[in-house]
Amino acid sequence: MKSKPHVAIVGGGIGGLFAANALVAEGVPVSVYEQAPALGEVGAGVYLTPNGVRQLQRVGLGPAVEKWGSLIGPASRYLRHDGTPIAPVQVADASGWNATFGMHRADFVDLLAAPLASGIIHTGHRAVGFEQGGDKARVTFANGATIEADVVVAADGIHSELRPHVFPPSKPVFHGTISYRGLVPCERLPDWPTDRWETWAGPSKHFLTFPVRHRTMINYVGFVPADQEMKESWSAPGDPNVLRAEFEGWDPRIASVLRQVDTCFRWALYDREPLPTWTKGRLTLLGDAAHPMLPHLGQGANQSIEDGMALATILARVDRGQAPAALLAYERLRRERVADVQRGARQNGLRLYSAYEDLKVRDAELVAHAEFRKRLYAHDVVPEAEKAAMGL
Q: Give the residue-averaged pLDDT of 112-127.
A: 97
Q: Give the residue-averaged pLDDT of 36-48.
A: 85
pLDDT tens for 318-356 read: 999 999 999 999 999 999 999 999 999 998 888 887 777
All structural domains of the chain: 7-71+110-171+275-359 (3.50.50.60)
Q: Give the residue-averaged pLDDT of 212-217.
A: 96
Residue 231's pLDDT is what? Answer: 56
pLDDT tens for 221-249 read: 999 998 666 555 555 788 999 999 999 99
Q: Give the residue-averaged pLDDT of 173-198.
A: 94
Residue 357 pLDDT grade (very low, low, confident, very high; cuts 50, 70, 90): confident
Q: How far apart are the first and last CA of the chain?
A: 16
Residue 229's pLDDT is what? Answer: 60
Residue 42 pLDDT grade (very low, low, confident, very high; cuts 50, 70, 90): low
Q: Give the residue-averaged pLDDT of 344-373.
A: 87
Global confidence as pTM? 0.95
Check pLDDT > 80 for residue 115: yes
Residue 170's pLDDT is what? Answer: 78
Residue 227's pLDDT is what? Answer: 67
The DSSP secondary structure of 140-206, one letter per residue, reads EETTS-EEEESEEEE---TT-SSGGGTS---PPEEEEEEEEEEEEEGGGSTTS-SS--EEEEETTEE
Return mean pLDDT, the chain. Answer: 93
Give the least confident one: 130-134, 140-144, 352-356.
352-356
For residue 328, give the amino acid letter: L
Residue 270's pLDDT is what? Answer: 86
User: Do 372 and 87 meet the contact criterion of CB atoms below 8 Å apart?
Assistant: no
Check pLDDT > 60 for residue 9: yes
Residue 360's pLDDT is what? Answer: 87
Q: Which of 6, 5, 4, 18 is nearest to 286 (CA)?
A: 18
Residue 317's pLDDT is what? Answer: 96
Q: Strand, helix or coil at 342?
A: helix
- Is 273 or 210 the better-scoring residue by pLDDT? 210
d(CA 257, CA 84): 18
Give the least confident one: 43-47, 80-84, 386-390.
43-47
Q: Burial, 99: exposed, middle or buried (Cβ in 10 Å; 0-12, 13-18, 19+)?
A: buried
C-alpha pair distances (Å), 48 with each of 168, 280, 321, 345, 368:
32, 30, 35, 15, 21
